[in-house]
Amino acid sequence: MTGKYWIAFSSLEQLDSQFIKRLYNYFGDIETAYKASLKDLSQIDGLSIKKAEAMVSLRDKIDPDKVLDEILKRDIYYLTLEDEKYPKMLKNIENPPAVLYYKGSLNICNLDKTLAVVGSRRASYHAKDELHKIISELSGTDICIVSGLAAGIDSQAHLSALENNLKTIGVIASGLDFYYPTSNKKLYERIESGNGAVVSEYFPTFEPLKFRFPQRNRIVSGLSYGTLVAEASLKSGALITANLTLEQGRELMCMPGLISNPNTEGIYKLLKNGATLVTCADDILNALNWEVKKTDVQLEFPTLTESEEKIYKALEIEEKGADELISITGLDVEILLSDLTTMELKGIIKQVSGDRYKKL
């Protein structure tokens, strides 16, 4: 069983996937690579004696059988670079994870239709709302949404996928012992409970350190056929993922936002440089040349009363407050408030802030 040697390598925090892959490629066998003597390691071109000595010293303190038990007792699954089920899109990137740990199920995710969604942690309400609308248009398909389980756009992408019965994969920047941010613990658990998988390249005990987040981004884009950037400033981690997407030869797409929002400066830079503009789900399908068949039964739009139709029409362009709606529709305040409540229950409008409403 060679898996334990991959995991033993992975458990050494000082080694990265690139180094492990280099040893594997040189020796042609992970067990041989793991058991290599200092003399064997010194034969590798470009590998310093100091690094070889450090690796041997670290390795000799590890028992491969024990580290494998650490994974199994946590109910964590894993795939290594030599596993047939290792995601093919991820294996094709320049620096794939040596080991991919996960909770949940990758088997239920369609890895042939994966879409990464990234964006600002401090996402505006507008961006999250528009992203939800676009992902809702994918409802009933077998598209899998990939993101980083961070606050803001990432969380919205996963939540929108779950609410629309889509599978989703969350890629985290720590081992699976951690929930980061802690406020997303329930979201982790929802994904793991039959809705997709939470994955990591890190041994379970590795903490969510700052440098691991940019490393994580290559996996988000690497698992995916294309990346949708929903909101990003000029110095955003989402732009790192956007650049990785292009380096990996994948499709880069952007969702436009309010030009007055600093978090859209990165978006418009990407669009000016040739990223595909996305305002609806069809733009994604066209960019990726995907044909999908929807399985969900489309619900009929509810019947509206005459006064409800006036309110709905008034909300056609943008959200409005109660005073504005009274002015536009000419309705009595009691009728208006009653209709607004009824329309919310019908699921065709939503109260967004204060007394303001928008159509769904």
Q: How confident is residue 270, by pLDDT bands cut at 50, 70 and 90? A: very high
How far apart are the C-alpha atoms of 148 and 121, rounded to whole Å?
11
Q: What integer is the mean pLDDT of 221-229?
A: 98
What average pLDDT score do residues 79-87 get?
A: 97
pLDDT value at 260 more than 90: no
pLDDT at position 119 over 70: yes
- List the beta strands (DSSP E) in 154-195: 168-171
Q: What pLDDT is stored for residue 117 in this prediction?
A: 98
Which class in CATH covers the domain with range 306-359?
A: mainly alpha
pLDDT, average across residues 106-116: 97
Alpha-carbon span 294 to 234, nearest angstrom: 37
How large is the angle between the packed helices 3-10 and 17-27, nearest 10 degrees?
140
Same fold, 114-288 and 306-359: no
Q: Which fold has domain 114-288?
A: Rossmann fold (3.40.50)
For 82, the token pair is 């030599």
pLDDT single digits (tens) 316-340: 888 899 899 999 999 999 898 899 8
Q: Is the pLDDT of residue 298 over 60?
A: no
Residue 137 has pLDDT above 80, yes or no: yes
**Choice among 24-28, 124-128, 182-186 with the minimum mean pLDDT:** 124-128
The confidence score (pLDDT) of residue 292 equals 85
Which of these, 64, 62, 95, lies nearest to 81 by C-alpha position?
A: 95
pTM: 0.84
Neighbours of 188 (CB within 10 A): 21
Q: How is the chain split into domains, by residue range? A: 3-73, 114-288, 306-359
Q: What is the pLDDT of residue 297?
A: 46
